[in-house]
Amino acid sequence: MKPYLPASVPADDPSSARATILIVDDLPENLEVLGELLQPLYRVRGAQSGVRALAVARSSPVPDLILLDVMMPGMDGYAVFDALRADPLTRDIPVIFVTALDGVEAEERGLSLGAVDYITKPLRPSIVLARVHNQLELKRARDRLRDQNAFLEAEIARRMSDNLLIQDVSIRALARLAEIRDPETGNHVRRTQAYVELLARRLALDPRHQATLTPDSIDLIVKSAPLHDIGKVGIPDHILLKTGKLSEEEWEIMKSHSRLGSEAIRNAEEDAERPVPFLAYAKEIALYHHERWDGSGYPEGLAGEAIPLSARLMALADVFDALVSRRVYKAAVPLETARDMICAERASHFDPAVVDAFLAEFGRFSAVAGRYQDEGSE
Residuewise pLDDT in 10s, the chain (378 residues): 344 444 443 444 443 358 999 999 999 999 999 999 999 999 999 999 999 999 999 998 999 999 999 889 989 989 999 999 999 999 999 999 988 766 566 667 767 788 888 888 888 899 999 999 999 999 999 888 888 888 888 887 777 766 666 666 566 666 666 666 655 555 888 899 999 999 999 999 999 999 999 999 999 999 999 889 889 888 898 888 888 889 999 999 999 999 999 998 888 888 777 777 888 899 999 999 999 999 999 999 999 999 999 999 999 999 999 999 987 667 899 999 999 999 999 999 999 999 999 999 999 999 999 998 866 555
Q: Look at residue 217 and give its three-state secondary structure.
A: helix
Q: Look at residue 306 and give its three-state secondary structure.
A: helix
CATH number, domain of 125, equals 3.40.50.2300
DSSP 62: P
| Final residue of a structural domain among 129, 150, 171 | 150
Asked if residue 187 and residue 59 are part of one domain, the reply reads no
The whole-angstrom distance between residue 70's C-alpha and the CA centroid of its chain comes to 43
Residue 161, in any domain of the structure = no
Residue 201, in any domain of the structure = yes
Domain total in the chain? 2
CATH number, domain of 204, equals 1.10.3210.10
How long a stretch of residues is the chain?
Answer: 378
Residue 279, in any domain of the structure = yes
| Calpha distance 81→95 (Å, rounded) | 8
What's residue 264's pLDDT?
Answer: 87
Asked if residue 319 and residue 215 are part of one domain, the reply reads yes
Asked if residue 188 and residue 130 are part of one domain, the reply reads no
What lies within 8 Å, CB to CB, of 23 at 6+ separation is 4, 31, 34, 35, 38, 44, 45, 46, 47, 66, 67
Residue 162, in any domain of the structure = no
Cα dist from 268 to 45, 226, 273, whole Å: 64, 16, 10
Asked if residue 250 and residue 328 are part of one domain, the reply reads yes
What's residue 327's pLDDT?
Answer: 76
DSSP lists the bridge partners of residue 97 as: 68, 118
Asked if residue 323 and residue 191 are part of one domain, the reply reads yes
pTM listed for this prediction: 0.59
DSSP 325: S
- Give residue 257's identity as a one-letter amino acid code: H
DSSP 318: H
Give, in degrees to the nearest 5, the angle at Cα 290 between 284 and 294: 110
| Calpha distance 175→264 (Å, rounded) | 13
Asked if residue 337 and residue 193 are part of one domain, the reply reads yes
What's residue 9's pLDDT?
Answer: 39
What's residue 166's pLDDT?
Answer: 60
Asked if residue 74 and residue 25 are part of one domain, the reply reads yes
Q: Tell which residue, 2, 97, 81, 79, has the closest CA to residue 40.
A: 2
Cα dist from 147 to 140, 143, 160, whole Å: 10, 6, 20
Residue 6, in any domain of the structure = no
What's residue 148's pLDDT?
Answer: 87
Residue 122, in any domain of the structure = yes
Residue 4, in any domain of the structure = no
Asked if residue 334 and residue 223 are part of one domain, the reply reads yes
First-to-last CA distance in the chain? Answer: 87
Tell me which residue range forms the domain holding 198: 182-371
Dihedral sign computed on CA atoms, order 325, 331, 337, 343: negative
Residue 252, in any domain of the structure = yes
Asked if residue 223 and residue 340 are part of one domain, the reply reads yes
| Calpha distance 256→115 (Å, rounded) | 70
Q: Look at residue 210 and give its three-state secondary structure.
A: coil
What's residue 15's pLDDT?
Answer: 37
Asked if residue 205 and residue 319 are part of one domain, the reply reads yes
